[in-house]
Structure 1
Amino acid sequence: MSPFLRIPSSSWIASNALAFAVADLYPVSHGHTLVIPRRLVATWFDATPDEQRALFELVDDVKRKLDAELSPDGYNIGINAGEAAGQTVMHLHVHVIPRYRGDVDDPRGGVRHVIPGKGNYLANRSSPLAQGGTDDPFLAHLDPLFRRATDIAILAAFTQERGLDLLEAHVFAALAHGARVRLVTSDYLQITSAEALRTLLDWMGMVATLAEARELSGSFEARIVEIAQLPKGIPSFHPKSWRFAGPGFGAAFVGSSNISQPALGSGVEWNLRVEKDRDPDAYQAIVLAFDRWWNAALPLSPAWIDTYAKLPRPLPALLPSSSPEREDPPPKPPEPHALQREALAALRRSRESSHPRALVVLATGLGKTWLGAFDVSAWSVENNQRPRVLVLAHREELLVQAAKTFRRLSLMADARFGWFVGDKSDLSGQVVFASVQKLSRPDHLARLTPEGFDYVIIDEVHHGTAPSYRGIIDRLRPRFLLGLTATPERADGADVAGLFDDHVAYRADLGVGIQQKHLVPFSYFGLEDDTNYGSIPFRNRRFDPSALEEAIDTDARLERMFRAWQEHPGQRTLVFCGSIRHAEHACAFLKEKGVRAASVHSGPTSAPREDAIQALVDGTFDALCTVDLFNEGIDVPLIDRVVMLRPTESPVVFLQQLGRGLRSASGKTRLVVLDFVGNHRVFLERVRTLISLGPEPTNLRDFLEGNQAARMAPGCTIDLELEAKDLLAKLLPPQGGSPAEQAYRELREVRGQRPRAGELYRMGYSLKKLRDTHGGFFDFVASMGDLDATEKRVLDVAGEFLRELEVTAMTSATRW
């Protein structure tokens, strides 16, 4: 019996009276489908005319589905007839194979590739020589190979920094799809720059870091051929080869291109291509030659580079300006913008006032990482020494970003970087990049010398009240500790500012960034959401994931979203979804509407993240549907629309998602925000968050009841449908008391827990009336019924002491 006839109809993709279609179990491309007659028919030539017509009618149906779901760039439609033609199942089946640009190096010839080496007769007649120059740059030949290869081996006698800049995106894209990349260079004539070798070492640290985060699955290693260790009688070392291998192919270039800007770009460099299937002996010789030098080379290490950097480099100075080994100077670091200059001045004043730690709030897009690097340079000038720096973050991508930033500082151009993440455990660097998750483990924490670092940066410190962070912070005693965040308020109400002695040195949130035109204004459209959120379990400030998915993943909701999508257009859109199923559904829905979209998430069916981002940047995609992956870290300034297709419970995450689209870009005038507003207190909090971004506070009740327009930054608008406003107004607690008391009630209602005095103070509310009426803030909290039994006993015993503390605070803070 045919194995195809054992496939249950529930697994069919499509069917008609005489045929059915199923996904191929061993697909050669994403979406590969088989169309099969219901009757056991051996080959195409044994089928009846009706069966043949039915098969190709179904081929058309399958194509329409694949077009909507995957948007391929072409198709191969194939039928094997007989064992000699490759047929392995003697039941007629038509292959429908979607094809994508770049899935093979040169697709010309199509089905001719059934016999290796005979596929592209056009390519056979064309020259295999890459000649370089402006019309034939070498990197254009390498790009499709980087996209396909799973094994990449590069041997270049000389390596320069700008050449690595050109290769970086290609190398890391290959690593993201699981490639092993090996690179060998040499110290011949000291032409390879120490800066380039440090970059290669940085790459190894970055790869280990991103592998730990599962952002990539490949591996990268660089080695150095030390000329002094070569056997006597070898006068020079000048090889160049670039080899790529993957499923079903192998190709190599041998010629004159080293790793430099001219050699990969417009320099006239000859490189001859060798194909594994056409010239297997030559290809194998390249494999063996590379392996020989790989085994002879030394692992690249900081100590080796430090020694090498001290050697004289006489030859480059003698090279003419047109030499392939001469490169453009590295780009200079950016100058601090106005808000960064203000923050740097505030940090300097903090140190002058003997503050050992400070918190800085800079909205997404205002350059937190660069601010930290700039202030390290400022600290160096103030103290006349280069500091030892520790950079801490909870996400590995942030450490990679920080390393790239610090390397561009002239102060750190030759610094030794250490990595404490994944399988890297180096705390000895001048600058150490460490993941909180690893460093917080007791055995690792014990290795941390309290005074071992002069300057410590904690990125996205709104996570800092977690025990993992607290253990590290309590262990360290640096000369200065800087906390950076775009959103200092924790969703759980924990006091982040308290970690920094309540010293917020500088704050420029989204409203300030928009007002100062460093960020684009937004137009927020709040759509009524008729989902009954009251029936969805809500525990620990989160909706039950399964119940939430069931409630919000509906065609009706997507149709409502798409009407707003058409009314408020954008060019590049991020759609934040509630689950993988939700993202896949939203993506398929948009494709059916003619939107070029992809879903990006942590599941196996996700589009490759880096490829999808690049496709959004270059306009190949119109939208990405994602699940939490892009809350932080993504930097695509061209995004001009975000869609909140899920009820984000945390105002911190809501601001992070909003911030993905606020970065300025040429021709971009605003960000469109499409949001759903339903009958739950989490929506009250996000609207409160929005109206707090203006230069002056706006009362939430007055805004919802139409008594006050939101005071927003120039160009920003908030447009809530009337039905949505009515939903939210019904959720407000009863009125009464001073503005601070009303804010207390509203925050307690929204969050399910009481706000802190310091939080109300930082929001701009005076607490004097509360004190005058109740005697003290905690007495007021007690009158609201918000102290537990233990807290009541503390107030009874220490109430007078607490009131005196409030009086002391009152003398130093005008709002108290």
Structure 2
Amino acid sequence: MVNFDYKQLLQKNINNKEKNVVNELYGSLLNGYINQDTIVTNDQFGPRLLNNQEGSSIWEQIKHELLTCENYTFAVAFITDSMVSNLKPIFKDLSRRGIKGRILTSTYLYFNQPAVFQELLKIPNIEVKIAEVDGFHQKGYIFQHQGYQTIIIGSANLTTNALMRNYEWSLRINSLDSGDIVDQVRSNVELEWKNASNLTNEWITSYSFTYKKNYKQSLQYQELDSENDTRIIKPNQMQKDALEQLRLLREKGKQRGLIISATGTGKTYLGAFDVKSTDPKKMLFLAHREQILEKSKESFSRIIGGKKTDYGLYTGNSRNKNAKYVFATVQTLSKSNHLSLFDRDEFDYILVDEVHHAGAETYQKIMNYFQPKFYLGMTATPDRNDDFNVFKLFNYNIAYEIRLPQALEEDMLCPFHYVGISDYTFKDNRVNEAIDSYNNEKGNHKNEQKIVEQLSSQERVKYILDQTRYYGYSGDVLHGLIFCSGVAESVSLAKELTRQGYPSKALSGNDSEVKRRSVVKNLEKGIIKYIVTVDIFNEGIDIPCINQVVFLRNTNSNIVYIQQLGRGLRKSKGKEYVEILDFIGNYKNNYIIPVALTDDSSYSKDNARATTSMEPTIGVSTIYFERVAKEKIFDSIRQAKFDSMRNLRTVYNEMKKRVGRVPLLQDFIKFNSIDPVILSNKEKNYANFLIKMGEQINISDYENKILSFLDVELLNGKRRHELILLDLLINNSEISMEKFDEALIVKGGFKLSFYSGLKMYDLGGLRIDRCQAI
């Protein structure tokens, strides 16, 4: 047995940080391999099993190690384009800091596609080699830190499935540079690295030839997303839940129901499934655009089946009144000469798509005329800036709500890879200031023409294209959508993009339906690379092939931002993800970006900062802000007045519309709205806030003081022992300290043993020796 005194290491000429590492490593070694009851002050260096289960993400650990290391080496057999896309912004930032990396991979089983190798060549400060050994199947990640190394080794390849989805086993271990395990791994990697081939364009050309010959063999090993048989479409779990809630609504005698579902989550299929289950005599599908109707008719036909003649359009160009399933435009059907052709009870099921438009006179005319057995309304954005209350229209019967993060977690949408990029900076700072002013004023500016020329200048467009080329897209052909600030800008950008080799077309609300369809078809066919738009494609347009969305304008509304983000979230064959590139300038509303990406309506600055700082993963969708872009967002958050009375009044009125009464504080939690603490703190307590909102609230001065006390002491919920005590007192008139202590252990995981020997307890300023309900 070797008698090793680790303290000898501490006598060496090393700095305090390295001495701390030695101490922590030694404690972690005892804790991880000898006795887990060893007292360790900080077990960050201990061995840890990573398996992609709750709180044990391989991807998050690798991301953390990359952002804190001095250099890194990956030895992995399989690599996918999707995971390379996730890593590109991190690798780019590491390169800016002078941190170098190496990737050793292989051609084993011809899993790695030539395009993946081509993408790896784009990444700066990374050297890539191809192992020549037969059967290379390694999965190891090595990170050099100051004085020690971290190794993650196990079953996970450099793929989205392995690092983020699958139930894997990977072990994270730490060792001093002189550790034997480090030496073993390092020696093995260095031997393979020495004998490996350099990744070059010539090598990729040669590999592409052999890859095509072996392509069929490689397919069985590819980690491609499996799609359901397109001939048989079945509801997913969330659609099943929604269908059940709709059934229960009708069972209770309700004649109207509202579905709130994030863009791209299959609202149309859900409606078709519900219509199929009710089997109406005749159904009306109502929408504001003919293009929506045509695609909806196809979807209903696939779900319900039957004869083609069962499905008909009633529009300006087609008048199929006698079909069993009628798909009508609001503009045509609302005209009296058309509406009068139908009996009031002709349809026993009416489905209104994009129902947030239903406040318009044309919608109201139709809905007031017909008397169906059931009205179903569907929308992704029920909270509008106008005075129309869609919740009231449907008698506050919210059958089901599917929010964006939930839909991403459930794999209902195509994952997104979001990168916040700092926008191009001109050498003349006066130009930058003018552009910022133009964007912050929503495009209204006296020097608009000059600013448009700068925004679409050769140097800025080149900068934009450099970023879009580096970050890329999923699939073989680019299908891009660019959002900018104004019509003139969109036209000028499209011309310059085309001139620089990326054929593009501008579209705005001024363009006809015929032109829109033509341009969309050209994008789908790959004839053009980008559609540059301003105020259309927020809703109702379905272009599943879009694999890159570019934001080149200020964000003024999280509703609009989510709508535009959603244009790329529809699943499509051959599309594993959509690349979202957000060019962030010095805009006062930048704080909306982290709020919108996480669908966070809490109005909490802490949440917005946390999203920007932590860059959370949602399902397998990733968020990353380049350093300068992150600083601009932080600056916007600092200056933003989240709790301005104007904002709070808007939020309050939206909730009142939703619930149809004066909202309770718990309503804001239930419906994922603002943090109730913000509302209550604004005027010392919620009752005062309600009075400010114009509500009739009658309370005495004493009651007002009690409410203010509860607001300060309990509402924020940060002192858990007080909330546990309050919960006990609700059901018990008197609680002994022994019972309180037991409850603290069970519910809070802690106890008040540090007060032993005292007869009086001081809990957050409330002194007690026996707790009584008052």
TM-score, normalised to structure 1, is 0.47
